[in-house]
Each structure stands twice: as C-alpha cells, then as structure tokens.
Amino acid sequence: MTLQIQPVILCGGAGTRLWPESRGTRAKQFLPLTGGDSLFRQTVARTPAGEHFLPPVILCGEGHLATVREQMGAQEAALLVEPMPRNTAAAIALAVAQADADTLLLVMPSDHVIADVPAFHAAIARAARLAQQDWLVTFGITPEHPETGFGYIASGDALGEDGFAVARFVEKPPLADAEAMLAAGGYNWNAGIFLFRAGRMREAMLTHCRPIFEAADKAVAAGMRDGDALHADAIEFGKAPSDSIDYAVMERDDRVAVVPVAMGWSDLGSWQAVHALAACDEIGNATQGDVFLHDSHGNLIRAGGKRVSVIGMEGIAVIVDGDDILVVPLTRCQDVRAAAKARE
Amino acid sequence: MTLQIQPVILCGGAGTRLWPESRGTRAKQFLPLTGGDSLFRQTVARTPAGEHFLPPVILCGEGHLATVREQMGAQEAALLVEPMPRNTAAAIALAVAQADADTLLLVMPSDHVIADVPAFHAAIARAARLAQQDWLVTFGITPEHPETGFGYIASGDALGEDGFAVARFVEKPPLADAEAMLAAGGYNWNAGIFLFRAGRMREAMLTHCRPIFEAADKAVAAGMRDGDALHADAIEFGKAPSDSIDYAVMERDDRVAVVPVAMGWSDLGSWQAVHALAACDEIGNATQGDVFLHDSHGNLIRAGGKRVSVIGMEGIAVIVDGDDILVVPLTRCQDVRAAAKARE
C-alpha cells in the first residue's frame, strides 16, 4: 500500500492549565515543555512528509499563525486559519471540507507527547486499514492508572487484528468507575487522535452535525488565501455551533472503531503531568534554571530566568514566567485555570 | 529627676532570616517590614531627644553607614562605626568607652517592634532607678506562649516595685521546659534591651571580659572622626573577642536586675513573626503587592513588584525581591538562613 496519509494538526488550544508559561501567542503547544523542541514541532516531526505522509494541514487561530510559521520554518505545510475558536468539530470540518474524499486524514492534537513513535506508526497502519473500510477510527491509549481526567472508550467486537468496534464512550469517570474499568480491561483512554477517510467523515458530519459542516464548508469556499495559509471566512465560520468531535460525531455514529496502542503518551495536561514526565533528581525534584532547594522533594520548579529558593516544601510547582510567579500543589494543578483567567 | 538617658542603638545585624528582602545595605532594620517607617526609624522615634533622652548613639557597620545617615536625615545622632562585626559585647563596649561614667545608657536592638511605647517608657523609668543603684538592668518581656527561640530570665528577689534581681539566665529551651517556665511564672523573655550606668558597665567589663573592653577602648581612642561619625580603629577593634553581652557580662555579674514589661514586643525574627504581626484578611492571608489567592489561607505573600498567584496553599511564605523568589512554610522560616547563605 503506497497510500499517503494526510496529517491534520490541531493547534487551536490556549493551554491555560500550563499558565503562566503558556499564554497568548506562546501557547502550550509552542513551548519546549519536555526540553528540546516544542510540542508542536515534535508533533510535526512524528509524521514526516515522505513515503507514508503528505505535508501536514495545520489548523490554528489568527493569533498563533506567526508562531506556526516561525516554528515550521521552510517545512511544507498547508495552514488553515480559524477566525475564532469553535471547538474541534468545526476545526476538523474545515480540514474535511478542503480534502479529496478518498484522502485519509490523521487528526492529532499539537500538544501531546508520544515517546514510542514506532508504536504510533504501527497503530496508524492498523487504523488506516480500518479507515479504508469506512470506519471512523479513534486511537485508544492503554490506561496505566485509574485516571479521572480522561474519557474512556469501551471496546466491542474485534475487527480482525487491527482494532475493535467501539461499544461506547465513557465520560471522565469518578475514581471508583475508573478503577473498575482498569480492572475489567477492554477500556482505553480517549486521546483525541483520529483517522478516517475524508468523504466518510463528510457524510457523518452531514448526518450528525450538518450545521457545523455546512458552516465550515462555506467558510473554506469563501476563505481568503494568503500564501501557504487559507483564512476561513469569519462570517460563515462564526455560524458553526461550538462542539467537540466526540460529542458531535464519534458518539453518534454507529461505525466507530478503536485502535488500542501503548506508546508512552501524555497530554501534558497540567504541571503535574509535566513533573511526571520530567527528569527528576533522586528525591523527585525537577528543576529548570537557577533553583536552590533545601530539604525539599517531589517538586517542579521552573525559574524562568529568575532565582528560586525553596525550603521545606513537598509536591508543589513553582513556575516563573516574566513577572508572573505561580505557586500551587502538584495535586491542585487543575485549578491553574483560575489564576490564568484572573491574570490574563 | 531630670536626668537624661542616652539611647544606644545597635544597628550591626544582617537580618539574614528575612532574606531576600533583607540583604546587603538593605538589612532588616532598614526595611519598613510593618508598613510605614523602617524598624530602625521606629526605634529612633521611640526615645526622642528632649526632656528624657539625649540624641542617640548609633552603632553600625561601614556597609550600613550611608543607609543610617539617609534614614536619620537631619536628626542629631552620634554614629559609632564598627570596622567589622564583633558581636554585641564589643559593640556596647565602644559606646561605654566614649561615655561619661555617670551617663545612663539604654541599649536597644534596631530591628524590634514595640507596640506599646508608654509601657516601654514606664519600664525605662523603673530601670533607670535601678541603674542608678548600680544594677545592670535587662528588660524581660512577659512571655505569651512557650517560645523556644528566645532565652529566658528567671526573677529572683524583688527590688522594691521596680524589678527583680536576676536569679539566672536560661538558654533557648526545649518546648517542655518552655511550657514549664510559662506555667511556673517568674520567667521573662530576654529581649536584648539593657539599661546601665556607663561607669558600672565599664567596671563589669574590666572584670568579666577585659580583652573586649580594652580593645574597644583603644579602638575609640585611635578612631577617626568623620563629621557625625567616629570610625573605630580596625586594628584595635579587630583584637576584641567576639561574644554576646549576655555571655560576656550579664550571666557573670552578680548585680543584674530584670524589669518585666508587657509592651507588644516582637523581634520580627522570621517571616513567620512578620506574618504574626501583619494585618491579615479573614482567612489569615497577609499580602503585599499584586497577589492573587485562590483557596489559600494563612499565608504571607510579598510580591515585591512582581505578580504572585497562589492556589491551594496553606501556611507558606512567598517572598519576592528583585530576581529572587523564596518559597518556605511559615513553620520552617528559621531555615531561610540556608538560602541566604547559598544565594548571597
């Protein structure tokens, strides 16, 4: 099979849970949160244009366009600019609207970490076979602990050796339910990575969320081209209801498959997740920059060019960025949005 | 009695436990830690030159001389400059060496808070009567809790209504001993405030710590006058052993008195003590500057011109000064010295 897959990279997020480093034009996906390249550049590099993949389609907001271009450099890409945020269903609809019906689209968030890229590629190959049989395919991450912050996907009938029909989607569960699913097996985390034939998704959207697809379709048709970027028309796109692809399509369609994969995945969804992935000293401290620690362990300290001194603290994050200093227990990092909202 | 008392203000401390705000030429005593005036200026204002007090003698290091002059402004004072730190016995010896024998010297640290100045003045009057009877008088603070960070003074025989002979000095005690002393009564905190006739202290020093007094005496004689300041001679002063006035004199002499007083005293010895004195909101947070708090209580946050956001924290200090950020539990504030030492 020499079919090339079209990566579609979703860059629209604000990443407010990683405030203060993530904000404005320097949103989470554009930061080198694991050291080295930004999460966005790591995402682009995971599906390099060549034998298996076409150059990517990148969906981003106006505010991030310059950063995307800067981080892409000379690499070929087609940029699709969302005039305003309208959630993932409308964003994906833009990519579907401008694709040939038989193109396989691999939709990926731009702010995740995947440590085992060969495992990802093997899963893509399985998913591609299912997508050619007109399954809407979602990637299911093998769960490692009873996480309550993700949705789960229950596997149904096996589809050969490539995956499973989806029995049902489970909303972010209470801990007891998460523990039960982990014990039972046959449940995977919903990572928001999808693979499907463009024409198949078009039909699904016209069935399940026609107003979203029609708004996106007209926004592409009336869009303004600017070099490598197509700016979707704001008036048309603004008519699209805001909904996630999960709610708008995946949970409503009756031919949805899941391809389970263990690939060292993390959504880096909070400073706690950044700490979990970071290189730590022998007592669990992960530091960046000029940090003095005394009798402290299990902390994430990012000095951001300043000098941070921490005494007698356990399990906290101290994040410095410009004139902003955030102090929060790692277990409370979901609440960082409150500070981001108050400050930005 | 129209006798005027000579205030002697000890300004030699570095205040490293209040790092990072206290450092270098901006040591603790020169900071407005309670809002308004600096602790040093509050100390000077407590014994104003006039009917009862002479203009003060101020003992400070070379590094603090400019700050002392700046904060004194046009107020009259005699500055005695220590060429190097030699602890309180040698510093007080400098003041004794240049005083008339019959002058009453009131020695005070420059970095304490006294809320009830009339109570202090009443205690000074009692102490002056004892000093004129050649007692070396120390002020004993009525203890409010079983503090383990201070030394205690045990009262012996009453000296009329003015005070008590000191039975013994108690080193910083373990908690059980502190609780026992609080329950027993007759114990007061040693605040490092003293009143004595200069000639009486001269004799005591010649008896108990002659090398210290002789070094200080020669350092004054060979000192260099510079306007309002007398710079003690470095070679002579450097010969003085480094010891506290408590160890060198008070604990050895047999005519030492204590004047108990309750006057809203605090040594502001740590960020925890600063928090205890600060105006707090109804859930115990004391903030200075641009601070955002979410679900946090009992904290001391001083933003120092930056923007500090704190989520889900209890009982910590976050102190920002320039490029330095300190994070420490209020109960661990004694360890701030470790950071100050590493950073300065």
Which chain B residues are closer than 8 Å to A338 by Cβ?
A: 294, 311
Looking at residue B330, its pLDDT comes to 97
Residues in A whose CB is inside 8 Å of some CB of B read 20, 292, 294-295, 303, 305-313, 316, 318, 320, 323-329, 331-332, 335-336, 338-339, 342-343
Q: Which residue has the tokens 């909904």?
A: A243
- Could you tell me if B33 and B105 lie in one domain? yes
- Could you tell me if A45 and A158 lie in one domain? yes
The whole-angstrom separation of Cα B139 and Cα B4 is: 19
Q: Which of A92, A116, A131 is nearest to A9 (CA)?
A: A92
pLDDT band at B2 (very low <50, low <70, confident <90, very high): low
Binary contact (A327, B309; C-beta < 8 A):
yes
Binary contact (A335, B310; C-beta < 8 A):
no
Which chain A residues are closer than 8 Å to B327 by Cβ?
A: 308-311, 313, 316, 318, 327
For B262, the token pair is 């309750």
For A5, the token pair is 């897959």
- Could you tell me if A201 and A247 lie in one domain? yes
> Scanning every residue of chain B, which has its alpha carbon at the shortest distance from the alpha carbon of A311?
B328
Looking at residue B145, its pLDDT comes to 92
Binary contact (A292, B343; C-beta < 8 A):
yes
- Please give the model's pTM, rounded to 2 decimal places: 0.89
Answer whether A137's CB lies under 8 Å from A245's CB.
no
**R_g over Cα of chain A:** 20
Binary contact (B311, A324; C-beta < 8 A):
no
Residues in B whose CB is inside 8 Å of some CB of A read 20, 292, 294-295, 303, 305-313, 316, 318, 320, 323-329, 331-332, 335-336, 338-339, 342-343
| pLDDT of B3 over the 80 cut | no
Distance from CA of A26 to the nearest CA of B (A): 19
Which chain B residues are closer than 8 Å to A319 by Cβ?
A: none
> Scanning every residue of chain A, which has its alpha carbon at the shortest distance from the alpha carbon of B20?
A309
Looking at residue A301, its pLDDT comes to 98
- Which of B287, B327, B336 to mutate to test binding with chain A, by most A CBs within 10 Å of its CB? B327
- Could you tell me if B210 and B249 lie in one domain? yes
Binary contact (B309, A332; C-beta < 8 A):
no
> Scanning every residue of chain A, which has its alpha carbon at the shortest distance from the alpha carbon of B336?
A311
Indicate the residue of A307, A324, A332 with minimum beta-carbon distance to B312. A332
Domain range spanning residue B300? 271-343
- Could you tell me if B302 and B208 lie in one domain? no
**R_g over Cα of chain B:** 20
Tell me the pLDDT of chain A (344 aa) as tens digits. 457 999 999 999 888 999 999 998 899 999 999 888 999 999 999 999 999 999 999 999 999 999 999 999 999 999 999 999 999 999 999 999 999 999 999 999 999 999 999 999 999 999 999 999 999 999 999 999 999 989 999 999 999 999 999 999 999 999 999 999 999 999 999 999 999 999 999 999 999 999 999 999 999 999 999 999 999 999 999 999 999 999 999 999 999 999 999 999 999 999 999 999 999 999 999 999 999 999 999 999 999 999 999 999 999 999 999 999 999 999 999 899 999 999 98
- Could you tell me if B39 and B188 lie in one domain? yes
Looking at residue B1, its pLDDT comes to 46
- Tell me if the bond preceding B20 is cis, omega within 30° of 0: yes
Binary contact (B316, A313; C-beta < 8 A):
yes
* A229-239 pLDDT per residue, tens: 999 999 999 99
Q: Distance between terminal CA atoms of chain B?
A: 49
Averaged pLDDT score across all residues of chain A: 96
Scored b (16 or more CB within 10 A) or e, A105-127 reads: bbbbbbbbbbeeeebbeebbebb
Binary contact (B306, A313; C-beta < 8 A):
no
- Could you tell me if B335 and B213 lie in one domain? no
* B17-44 pLDDT per residue, tens: 999 999 988 999 999 998 889 999 999 9
Among B266, B296, B319, the domain boundary falls at B266
For position B208, which CATH number holds? 3.90.550.10
Among B266, B299, B317, the domain boundary falls at B266
Looking at residue A1, its pLDDT comes to 46
Among A219, A235, A266, the domain boundary falls at A266
Indicate the residue of B307, B312, B335 with minimum beta-carbon distance to A325. B307
| pLDDT of B168 over the 50 cut | yes
- Could you tell me if A220 and A84 lie in one domain? yes
- Could you tell me if A331 and A203 lie in one domain? no
Averaged pLDDT score across all residues of chain B: 96
* B113-148 pLDDT per residue, tens: 999 999 999 999 999 999 999 999 999 999 999 999
Q: Compute the CA torsion angle A306, A310, A316, A319 (nearest 10 deg).
A: 0
| pLDDT of B55 over the 60 cut | yes
- Which of A327, A331, A333, A343 to mutate to test binding with chain B, by most B CBs within 10 Å of its CB? A327
> Scanning every residue of chain A, which has its alpha carbon at the shortest distance from the alpha carbon of B307?
A324
Please name the residues in contact with B237: beta carbons below 8 A apart, sequence gap of 6 or more: B82, B83, B84, B86, B90, B94, B215, B216, B219
Per DSSP, the three-state class of B159 is strand
- Could you tell me if A280 and A144 lie in one domain? no
Interface predicted TM-score (ipTM): 0.89
